[in-house]
Chains A and B, each alone.
Chain A
Amino acid sequence: MRKILSGSVALACLFAIGSSGEAAPGKRTIGFVAWDFIYASYGGGRESCPDGFNRGADELYLADQKPEERERLSKGDGARELGRLVGVRGELNACKNPTEFKNYGLKTYQGAVHNGLNLDGADTTTSANAPPNACAHPNFVSPTGEKGIDNQMGRAVGCIRGYAPGLDFDKTTAGTLSDGSYSVLIEVRGVDDLRNDPEVEVGIYSGTGGVATDPTGKLLPYQSVSIHDDVHYHNETKGKIVDGVLTTDPVHMHLRIDQQVIHSEYDFKDARLRMELAPDGSVLKGILGGYFDIARRWEHFVHAGVITSRLVAYNCPGVFAAIQAMADGYPDPKTGKCTAISTAMRVQAIPAFVIHPNGSKVAEKPAATTASR
């Protein structure tokens, strides 16, 4: 693998050979655009959430009220009043100022299995001892049986209905990734062999300028997508491919999120990929694991606001407290309190040409398709 010069082009092309000197002869550059980039939710059934899903603050508030008051607050002016009672008070609101409002608590994920990666290298599946440079936390076992899985964010939000597999946030994310609101690009450079390569260079980028979809809204493969102009969203690391699985070295990663009312970024510390590459290179899917910076992550909840919390059923004070309590990474040297929380994102991507900001162009041999018709 040869290092890519800063600011140079590396147009990704499946099975492409060479790319204007960025990779040594015979090396391939392969690119992808994600159609799925969301919390790697898991379970959500009775085993993992024995007490059911959480309820929104309005439901919780009403549950405390007498029947006639509950009736009054359920419609018309009463319903508007309820919104204010549980979510807004003057200049304050329950998501922006979660400690100023009643914390109804949060039902958290009780299952033993969850998606994720072993970020801290330790196995605290059965003990809650704190690994070095981390706060004490129990680990999960992955669906494939791997122990030591760190995913405290998954533990915190795993019984919120909106985060359940196939529900609100899955759908919203798929929608906003396909309407071009934001995009995530992955480029693997210097590839000798799609199945095994001891050293490759990997770029994970935010995209810009929209994406192309088919009439049903699915992203089209082999489209060209530009990398975000802001280098803050350019993340470079190294990795390897073993038996078709790409893993990367940890890197502090920043990616845009522009999802409806949320306009912020993912701030992943120690972020790394573990993704399966289809033998023909047509699919890349797996997990992005890392530590969310808590303050930055809470910004998403602030943007989503009280309305979202009511729609997808959580109470901001409860989530805020849970995240603070479950944070397991990056302890503050002075207080010892952890400032980041382990997480896992599900990533699924299809082949694309990743266009670097300087826009240089290289014609590369496209992959032959054996598709019918």
Chain B
Amino acid sequence: MMVSDRATPIAWMLAGALLAGCASGDTPADPPGASPVMRRLTQEQYRQSIADIFGADIKIAGRFEPDLRTDGLLALGTTEVSVTPAGFEQYNTMARTIAAQVVDEKHRDALVICKPAAIKAPDDACAGAVLARTGRSLFRRPLTKDELAKTVSMAAAAARTFGNFYSGLEFALAGLLVAPEFLFRVEVAKGGELDAFSKASRLSYLLWNTTPDEPLLAAAEKGELNSEKGLVRQVDRLMASPRLAAGTHAFFADMLGFDRFEELAKDAIIYPAYSLKVAIDAREQTLRTVTDHLIVRGGDYRDLFTTKRTFMTRALGTVYRVPVAAAAGWEPFEFPADDPRAGLLSQISFVAIHSHPGRSSPTLRGKAVRELLLCQEVPAPPGNVNFNVVQDTSNPKFRTARDRLTAHSSEPMCAGCHKITDPIGLGLENFDGLGQYRTAENGAPINAGGELNGFVFKDAASLGKALHDDPAATSCLASNVYKYAAGHKLRAADMPWVEALKRDFAAGGYRMPDLLRRVATNAASYKVSMPSAQTKVALLEGSKP
């Protein structure tokens, strides 16, 4: 959404990407700015923001609106979603619950910074102080005079109605919590670039996946984020924090498509070891592996596809069939060098979510590798496909998935797409639909060999090596980080800079912190372009019924 000023915050949501010329050569010119965007907070961002503003013990009860995946990322989908009436009811319920807790006797002393002159009457001074401070955190910028005045007035009216200052405050706080300025990250343009508070939000949600903290807001207020030095200082501070792991965690949860865990189901007869606990731990295992390798150890991104290091819980250990000493919680784990498991592809999270409830799926797994890890699009199957051969795992003629898919792909209309996906997915056939290791299916030995972009592999471990060496994997990550930060698809105008980003990523040994720092400190990425008058008119005309 394009935003020209704060008085009309939702005026240009549908503004299209603006293309502009770009320089060529080794040092590309800065990309011309895209339109500012307006992003709905994800569930995790909402929860973490509330925890940071009011405390981790504030309970949040309600159902969040479904997310939308656009161009491979939920982060981009957040710019295309709105709040439905039903969703608003949920936000409203959550807001009232949160506000009630903030002013209750348990939290009041810590979160309400002043005492009212009289508890049964309004106190504009005290309410104003509380709402200005809290509103600044919630809106990620100071409230305007008008906004503050209206909110204080609302608190006073409610206090009179209920005969209680805190009830009035609760009412006003709930209002702030359902305001678009809280539920959406509203980017604001000023002088051809994002204003300082919008920059602060981008930085904070990119690196920590939460609302800007007080030092970041203060830096924005002082205009420090508008200078390269000030921007770098804040990026350094945010990146030095342990909270960088949370930001990385969120990015990879998005990139790896882990929202699929919310609908993951397994047949309990076929996979008795599956449980909700296994699903939760499997998701967390991969994200821990990623953040430990990339952030704690500063490792090479490519090694995520071959690493033997991970973390285990007892629930996972039962599926992986490995010992776990810790009776509760997590412990580091390293698979032996000759173990068939290596890298993210062999973890339960990947093979289980890209499977069917009762069987594995080389096609879904291959598609996921292509789309999520290599940023390559796989066409959707036609609507009239006959899946009978693939789905019948009891046919003695086709005992393995390879047998079944070979038979299925003999149909010309299927062969094209399956050539793109299946050779990769068949490399993971030693892991069943839950991710348990196996060497045979229906008594027939599994052949997990295949080929990825010319690299021949014999099993999951060597498939991981193939991915490790595939330049598309690192290129995909760099593109995704850029899009995740900017909130828009790659435009032609972005490409030279993104290509330079990829080169820098490679030159630095594929270190995630370097990639994040490069994106976060790139002043040009905060440049914005406003739609021309003609575009605005065209959009408005187009929006008429």
Task: Name A residues whose Cβ lies closer than 8 Å to a Cβ of B.
Answer: 9, 11-13, 209, 212, 214-216, 218, 220-224, 226, 353, 355, 359-373
Chain A residue at minimal CB-CB distance from B394: A372
CB <8 Å contact, A372 and B433: no
Contacts of A9 in B (CB 8 A): 325
Sample of 24 A–B contacts (CB below 8 Å):
A212-B273, A218-B272, A221-B318, A222-B317, A222-B318, A222-B321, A224-B325, A353-B322, A360-B325, A361-B331, A361-B333, A363-B339, A365-B339, A366-B339, A367-B321, A369-B437, A369-B439, A371-B432, A372-B393, A372-B440, A372-B441, A373-B270, A373-B358, A373-B432
Chain B interface extent, by class: 35 or more
CB <8 Å contact, A363 and B333: yes
CB <8 Å contact, B323 and A355: yes
* B337-378 contact mask (Cβ, 8 Å, vs A): 1 or 0: 011000000000000000000111000000000000000000
Q: Identify which of B323, B326, B336, B440 gathers the most chain A CB atoms within 10 Å of its CB.
A: B323
Task: Name B residues whose Cβ lies closer than 8 Å to a Cβ of A.
Answer: 268, 270, 272-273, 275, 314-315, 317-318, 320-327, 331, 333-336, 338-339, 358-360, 393, 432-433, 436-443
Is chain B's interface secondary structure helix, strand, loop, or mixed overall? loop
Q: Could you tell me the distance in whole angstroms from the C-beta of B329 to the nearest C-beta in chain A?
A: 12
Q: Could you tell me the distance in whole angstroms from the C-beta of A196 to the nearest C-beta in chain B?
A: 26
Chain A residue at minimal CB-CB distance from B399: A372
Contacts of B439 in A (CB 8 A): 368-370
CB <8 Å contact, A209 and B440: no
CB <8 Å contact, A224 and B317: yes
CB <8 Å contact, A369 and B334: no
Contact of A353 among B315, B317, B358, B443 (CB under 8 A): B317
Chain A residue at minimal CB-CB distance from B360: A373
7 other contacts beyond A11-B323, A363-B335, A368-B439, with CB at 8 A cut-off?
A214-B272, A215-B275, A355-B323, A363-B323, A366-B322, A366-B437, A373-B358
The 7 closest A-B pairs by CB, nearest first: A214-B272, A353-B323, A366-B321, A11-B323, A359-B325, A222-B321, A361-B325
CB <8 Å contact, A369 and B325: no
Q: Would A224 and B268 be within 8 Å (CB), given that A365-B338, A369-B436 are in contact?
A: no
Q: How far is the CA of A353 from the CA of B437 in the complex (A)?
A: 17
Q: How far is the CA of A363 from the CA of B312 in the complex (A)?
A: 11
CB <8 Å contact, A11 and B325: yes
Q: Could you tell me the distance in whole angstroms from the C-beta of A123 to the nearest C-beta in chain B?
A: 44
Q: Would A365 and B272 be within 8 Å (CB), given that A224-B314, A224-B323, A355-B323 are in contact?
A: no
Q: How far is the CA of A212 from the CA of B322 in the complex (A)?
A: 14
Q: Could you tell me the distance in whole angstroms from the C-beta of B324 to the nearest C-beta in chain A?
A: 4
CB <8 Å contact, A373 and B317: no
Q: Would A224 and B336 be within 8 Å (CB), given that A361-B331, A370-B440 are in contact?
A: no
Chain B residue at minimal CB-CB distance from A351: B321
Q: How far is the CA of A55 from the CA of B433 in the complex (A)?
A: 52
Contact of B327 among A215, A226, A367, A372 (CB under 8 A): A226
CB <8 Å contact, A214 and B438: no
Contact of A224 among B318, B440, B441 (CB under 8 A): B318
